[in-house]
Structures are given as C-alpha cells and as structure tokens.
Amino acid sequence: MTKGCIVIDTFESTCLKNNPLKDPFIRNLIIYLPPDYVRSKQDYPVLFLLSGFSGKGIMFLNQEAFSESIDERLNRLIQTNRIEPMIVVMPDCFTYYGGSQYRNSHATGNYETYLVNELVPYVKKNYRVKDNRSHWAIAGKSSGGYGALTIAMRHCDIFGILACHSGDMGFEYCYQPDFPQTMIEIEKQGGILEFMQKFYTLPKKDSNSFLALNIIAMAAAYSSNKKICPHFIDFPFDLKTGELRSDVWQKWLNCDPIHMLNSYENAVRQLKIFIDCGIKDEYRLYAGSRIFSAKLKKYNIDHVYEEFNDTHMKINYRYDRSLEFISESMS
C-alpha cells in the first residue's frame, strides 16, 4: 500500500522572535503529504490541524498501542476512498504556559499572526496547494478546536471549512468552576512566577497543578495586560479571595465563541461547520457546544452537530468523522 509521507520543515518566525516568554521562534512545522503527492503534478486541498492544550503538531505522530497516529489514519482513509487526498499542516504553538489558544497576547506572543500571516503563506509558496478557501480547512480538538473555530471566524477569507472537536466554549461551565482551586494552588507557591517555577520541577504534574496551569494559560490568552509586570496577566478573579472580577471576566466572555458569534455572524455563514462533543466530557464542554449549536440554529446557520457517548480523552477516533466531513465539503 502506497503511504503518504511526513515532512518536518524548520520555520523561523518573525512575529515570535521577541515573544515575552522567550519561547522558541524557530519551530518544526509538521506536514503530511498524501500518497500520490510526489508522483503527481496536481494541486491539493489543505487542512490545518491544531493540537490541544499542552500539545504540539509533532504529537499527532505519536504511536500508541491499539490506536493510529494521524498519518496512519489519513493513509487508511485515503486508501479506502473515504476521504480525498489532502495536505495536512500541524503547527507548533506551544508556550511556557502550555499553549496559546492560537491568539495574539501581550503575555505569550502573536500566535494568530504566526499561523495566519506566516505559516499560511509559507505553505502556499512551498507546496502544491489549491489556493481557494473552499479547499482550505482548519480543525482541532479541545484548545485546538477552540483555535480552529475562532481562527475560522476571523479568517473566513482563508478557511472555508471548520471542524471543532470538544472545543473550549461556554466559559462559565468549562473554566469558572476551576477558579477557586487555581487561587489556592497559586497561593501555596507564593505567586504566579513561583507557581510556574515549581510546576516545571515536579517529576509528576498532579491534577490540581495542571488545572491551575490551564487557568493561567487561559488568562494569558484572554486577558493579557501589558501594564501588569512581569507576567502581563490579568485574572478574572481576585487571587486572595476568589471573588469574580466582572471587568476582566467580560474580557474572557468576549473571547468565548458563543459570544463572538454576535460579531462574526456574517463570517460564520460562509463556513461549512462540523462540531461534536462527548456527553461525558470532564470539562463540561458539551454545555457550551449545545449552546453554540442552538445559537447557530437561531441564526439559521447550517452546521453539523453531533454528540457521542464518551469523555474528553482518547477520542482520536472521532477524527474519522471530521475528516470525512472535511473531504466531502472540499468536494
């Protein structure tokens, strides 16, 4: 069986060069080329596939027992004619805090600009791609699903197809319940900088520490503030009492896809949309997914919404469904 190939490009970013966390600005860009790419002269549709929180593009290639890596999955689906051949681009948008939410931020750097203004042109220049939004898709799971959804909203001129698996939305359900424990974890270490230093020394990251890291990363993405030195992060709750700070919380809500839809309704109408979520999701993301789908229906925006009987973890098999949707939409 002819298989696709993996290319690992090294990309030097201009917009990440002076990022505040001093994270690498030279990163690997993982690209899957379909089985007949080398032999043919044709142009191919493109999928940008975004990893979840604490993930990098290269992690899609991980091989686990009884599970497929993304290239194995793509090879199988293409060989069995369930999807059309496509180029799949897997960027690295990891940060010191574990992720960027694919947003521009004073606290982490300009990751939306990196993806849209640097990586997209690079792929168009260096690979044989169909240069039409109807053949460009963006997808991901969890934070990757959030990134795919919001990038597609803001850049529907580039991406015409969207697939979001268990994406972050409905912030009052998926984030707010974790604020009190985050306050305690930061307090135990004596502050944010001290928490981060301690976190990186832990031989095993316990669940409460990882929970707090997630909220710190979200604050860095949704409510960065260049006036707050040295970390440039504003929190939506008081770090001493836990009381909700309505002005900062509103900044978070403005980043919630449910609320963003009010401003991006016309853009979203131009997208072909697939959304799903497990009804046992540990982060209660089914609530936000249901609300978002209901709002799309209210606006009479066509989309596919599916629920399945599973959790947030170990659901890579759902990529079969979204890849089929993407391929059909490209056709």
Mean pLDDT of 94-102: 98
Contact 2, 35 (CB under 8 A): yes
Contact 73, 188 (CB under 8 A): no
User: What percent of the chain stands above pLDDT 90?
Assistant: 97
pLDDT per position as a tens digit, 209-265: 999 999 999 999 999 999 999 999 999 999 999 999 999 999 999 999 999 999 999
Reported as a pLDDT band with limits 50, 70 and 90, residue 64 is confident
Helices (H) and strands (E) in the chain, counts: 13, 10
| DSSP per-residue string spanning 56-117 | -GGGGG---TTS--HHHHHHHHHHTTSS---EEEE-----TTS--TT-EETTTEEHHHIIII
Half-sphere exposure of 187 (CA within 13 A, CB side): 11
What pLDDT does 208 receive?
96
Mean pLDDT of 68-75: 96
**Length of the chain, please?**
331
pLDDT per position as a tens digit, 140-195: 999 999 999 999 999 999 999 999 999 999 999 999 999 999 999 999 999 999 99
CA distance linking residue 309 with residue 177, whole number of Å: 23
- pLDDT of residue 296 exceeding 90: yes
**First vs last Cα of the chain: how many Å apart?**
24
In CATH terms, the superfamily for domain 5-170+257-330 is Alpha/Beta hydrolase fold, catalytic domain (3.40.50.1820)
Mean pLDDT of 65-85: 95
CA distance linking residue 52 with residue 38, whole number of Å: 30
- pTM for this structure? 0.97
- pLDDT of residue 18 exceeding 70: yes
Mean pLDDT of 55-68: 91
CA distance linking residue 19 with residue 87, whole number of Å: 29
Contact 306, 322 (CB under 8 A): no
What pLDDT does 66 receive?
85
**Do the bridges between strand 46-50 and strand 272-278 make them parallel or antiparallel, or are there none, so unpaired?**
unpaired
What pLDDT does 1 receive?
62
What mean pLDDT value characterizes the chain?
Answer: 97
Task: Give all strands of the β-sheet with 136-141 in edge-to-edge order.
Answer: 5-12, 26-33, 87-90, 46-50, 136-141, 161-165, 272-278, 304-308
With a CB cutoff of 8 Å and minimum separation 6, the contacts of 286 are 277, 278, 279, 307
CA distance linking residue 327 with residue 331, whole number of Å: 6
SS3 state at 181: helix
SS3 state at 144: helix
Where are the domains positioned within the chain? Answer: 5-170+257-330, 173-254
